[in-house]
Amino acid sequence: MYDGGKIIAGIIIGLALLTFPIWYTSGRAAPKPEVKLPVKEKECVQPGPYMKKKHMQVLDLWRDSVVRVQQRSYVAFNGKEYDMSLQNTCMSADCHAKKSEFCDRCHNYTGVVPYCWDCHIPPKEKPEEKH
């Protein structure tokens, strides 16, 4: 004999379990990554919020000026002059020396994979020190 009630209850429980990952995670996103800002330098070449939105355009501008018009010097918003270099300026020891803790954390979160590192060399990072 079939027990209709048990079958229906079984189907409902089965469906609930099957769709669990959908409703359990709905409306939630992975927690925002924590990016580590430079310790030594307090200011970037443009204010932080601007860099957050526009760093790709700034980098493109730098590349085009260096490669196309041989202009290597950039006057920052605070009047300081910088060499327009991804490796030597952005990724210098005093600035974003740890690509993995800054660029990568945010790019991994947002699913961005810049191809720059096919050619440009990221800074060498020491493996985390064990305590």
Residues forming the site for ligand HEC (CB under 6 A): 35, 52, 55-56, 59, 62-63, 66-67, 84-88, 90, 96, 102-103, 106-107, 110, 112, 114-116, 118-120
Closer residue to ligand HEC, CB minimum distance, 32 or 130 = 32
Least CB distance to ligand HEC at residue 101 (A): 9
Question: With the C-alpha atoms ordered 104, 85, 93, 47, is the resulting torsion angle positive or negative?
Answer: negative
C-alpha span between 90 and 60 (Å, rounded): 13
Least CB distance to ligand HEC at residue 47 (A): 14
Closer residue to ligand HEC, CB minimum distance, 20 or 117 = 117
Residue 10 tokens read as 């079984």
Least CB distance to ligand HEC at residue 23 (A): 28
Q: Which residue has the tokens 């985390």?
A: 128
Least CB distance to ligand HEC at residue 40 (A): 15
C-alpha span between 3 and 113 (Å, rounded): 55
Please, are residues 98 and 125 in contact by the beta-carbon 8 Å criterion?
yes
